[in-house]
Amino acid sequence: MAARKKKPQNLDPELQLLVDQEAVLRAQIAATAAEPERLRRQYEEDRATLPPTEDFRDRERRRAFEELATRGKVRNEHKSQRRSLLLLVLLLAATTSLVMWGLQLMRG
């Protein structure tokens, strides 16, 4: 088991500042030492990733158009159903008024 350096508890403030700066520098050195490995992994990952296919934009554009077209179809269908419902209500009102008119004529 490796012996660890213990931080002295009561240090001169200037000495404590130097110890803290040394710790920061050691952390920066460790991060910098790991950087080439991280860059190599990133490079290998980039090389292993395939670029998007040629027709990717076309497929995206077609999907967006079909989505809009589908929304338009749904909107048109709702409009058609509302129109049909209005015609049904008018037909029922006309039928009711004709039946009432016929009954009044029979009563006389």
108 sits in which H/E element: none
Looking at the chain, how many residues does it have? 108
Cα–Cα distance for residue pair 94/5, rounded to 1 Å? 100
pLDDT of residue 1: 44
Q: Do residues 7 and 19 make contact, with C-beta atoms less than 8 angstroms apart?
A: yes
Q: Which two tokens stand for residue 20?
A: 């803290």
Question: Which portions of the chain are predicted below pLDDT 70?
Answer: 1-9
pLDDT of amino acid 96: 97
* pLDDT value of residue 94: 97
Q: Which residues of 51-63 are buried (b: 16+ CB within 10 A; e: fewer)?
A: eeeeeeeeeeeee
User: Which pTM does this prediction carry?
Assistant: 0.36
